[in-house]
Structure 1
Amino acid sequence: MSKDLLTLKGVHTHIGAYHILHGVDLTVPRGQLTMLLGRNGAGKTTTLRTIMGLWKASQGRIEFNGTDITALATPQIASMNVAYVPENMGIFSDLTVRENMLLAARGAKHAGQMDDTRLKWIFSLFPAVEKFWNHPAGKLSGGQKQMLAVSRAIVEPRELLIVDEPSKGLAPAIINNMIDAFAQLKASGVTILLVEQNINFAKRLGDTVAVMDNGVVVHSGSMKELAEDENLQHSLLGLAI
């Protein structure tokens, strides 16, 4: 079994006339949390969407668990125990929290068939999901919607969790709750790929890091090393952690 659960090799992505990814090389080690950092417009979200098959790679290869998934459709990739939480969260506003969760629990036809032990674990991570179980999801706050989005992604066991900017627009207390939840998810054996702009979030959670600029990965290595090297932070991100 390879130590890397996910690898991208020379991946290019075109969206219409625009060439967004210019040969992305990325490795996501099994059982670790990999941060994908970079300035706005660097290609981070495009990378996630290309991994999930929402946009097709025009060149290169994407492997998950040793299987070439480059040309697979999104439902096929999701069926391999891969979950994706997009930046807009993808919540169904007119449905209740329970109904949103049920839609993601592919093995259940009604709420009573959802894994009760797993639900209790999710409720321990995100108490608001239990509190607003029968409320319309559209009535939740931004932080509560983000909790629901992550909860929905993990309502069934996942081998890989891909999340785009989970802390965006959240209050500090909610961010701390989210950090604790991702730490527990990682401890449970889930491999996580996370795009994040909150550098404190990245520093506290990341094992490995890849930094993107202009559609390519320009740096990869230990998150701890990047967090301790102020000159490297300035050169890659224009900021200091």
Structure 2
Amino acid sequence: MSAPLLTLAGVHTHIGPYHILQGVDLQVPRGQLTMLLGRNGAGKSTTLRTIMGLWRASAGAIGFAGASLRGVGTADIAARGIAYVPENMGIFSDLTVRENMLLAARSGPMDGARLEWIFTLFPSLKQFWDKPAGKLSGGQKQMVAIGRALVEPRQLYMFDEPSKGLAPVMVNSMVAALRALKEQGATVLLVEQNLAVAQALGDSVAVMDAGRVIHHGAMAQLAADADLQQRLLGLHLAAAPAPAPAGEGA
């Protein structure tokens, strides 16, 4: 396994009176796509938000690229090279697709070659370049959110359930884009409920329950063990067909 780019050790997070993360231990290997799986309410989204500093860890260590993220502000965490796409996408509905992308280009003007690469992944971004992002379909908004995360190279990309609520053809487009990002050697932490997506993309996997990581290992190992899937997730990967490469739909 590659050396970890991101490490969480004994991380606890309280939100008001609620103790959500209860000692999370997690390693995200450099250059791999790590799946973060678990039932609803297991603490997956809270883990991503805690890494980004949107919610502050009350105990434990968060290390990224050899430095601590504990106590660092969200803007500074992003500036260190972490792109984060939340479950609600976080796009600016009143701004055009172009303006949404420009805001993500922290280092200056958008790189033309990289932008053309993004257009090959998501042709609708070019088609709706000057239209308000809020007027797009749910799937197209998700493409804007992912495209915005890709507009500059980052050390780590974190996506929170990017396939949620998408039509199958849009899921296929999203999987193809993440596969292309993975083939470039990117480090990705991906929260998913769609186990077929997890199977199609994951190198390593961590499974959460009740605010802790209860299993970690190779995604292929989990995909091959139906009993382990049932015990950890209450589901079987074989129950859902894997996404197939497809063109982007509406």
Normalised to the residue count of structure 2, the TM-score between the two structures is 0.93
Paired position in structure 2 for 1:8 = 8
Alignment of 1:217 onto 2:225? no
Identify unmatched segments of 5+ residues in structure 2.
Answer: 238-250
Paired position in structure 2 for 1:176 = 172
Query: How far apart, in 2, do the equivalents of 1:198 and 1:151 lie?
Result: 21
Paired position in structure 1 for 2:59 = 59
Alignment of 1:79 onto 2:79? yes
Amino acid at match of 2:23: G
How much has 1:71 moved relative to structure 2? 1.4
Amino acid at match of 1:40: N
Tell me the matched-pair count.
236
How much has 1:10 moved relative to structure 2? 0.2
Query: How far apart, in 1, do the equivalents of 2:68 and 2:95 lie?
Result: 35
Deviations 1:72-92 (A, max 9, x none): 110111001110000000011
1:99-178 to 2 correspondence within 5 Å? 99-108=99-108, 113-178=109-174
Paired position in structure 2 for 1:202 = 198
Query: How far apart, in 1, do the equivalents of 2:106 and 2:64 lie?
Result: 21
Q: Percent sequence identity over matched residues? A: 67
Query: How far apart, in 2, do the equivalents of 1:160 and 1:202 lie?
Result: 18
Query: How far apart, in 2, do the equivalents of 1:51 and 1:220 lie?
Result: 18
Identify unmatched segments of 5+ residues in structure 1.
Answer: none
Query: How far apart, in 1, do the equivalents of 2:103 and 2:22 lie?
Result: 36
Deviations 1:75-131 (A, max 9, x none): 1110011100000000111110001001111233xxxx3210110011011111111
SS in 1 for 2:228: helix
SS in 2 for 1:162: strand
Normalised to the residue count of structure 1, the TM-score between the two structures is 0.96
Q: 4+ residue stretches of structure 1 with deviation over 2 A?
A: none
Alignment of 1:30 onto 2:30? yes
Query: How far apart, in 2, do the equivalents of 1:99 and 1:139 lie?
Result: 14
Query: How far apart, in 2, do the equivalents of 1:159 and 1:67 lie?
Result: 13
SS in 1 for 2:163: coil
How much has 1:211 moved relative to structure 2? 0.4
Amino acid at match of 1:204: A
Query: How far apart, in 2, do the equivalents of 1:25 and 1:77 lie?
Result: 20
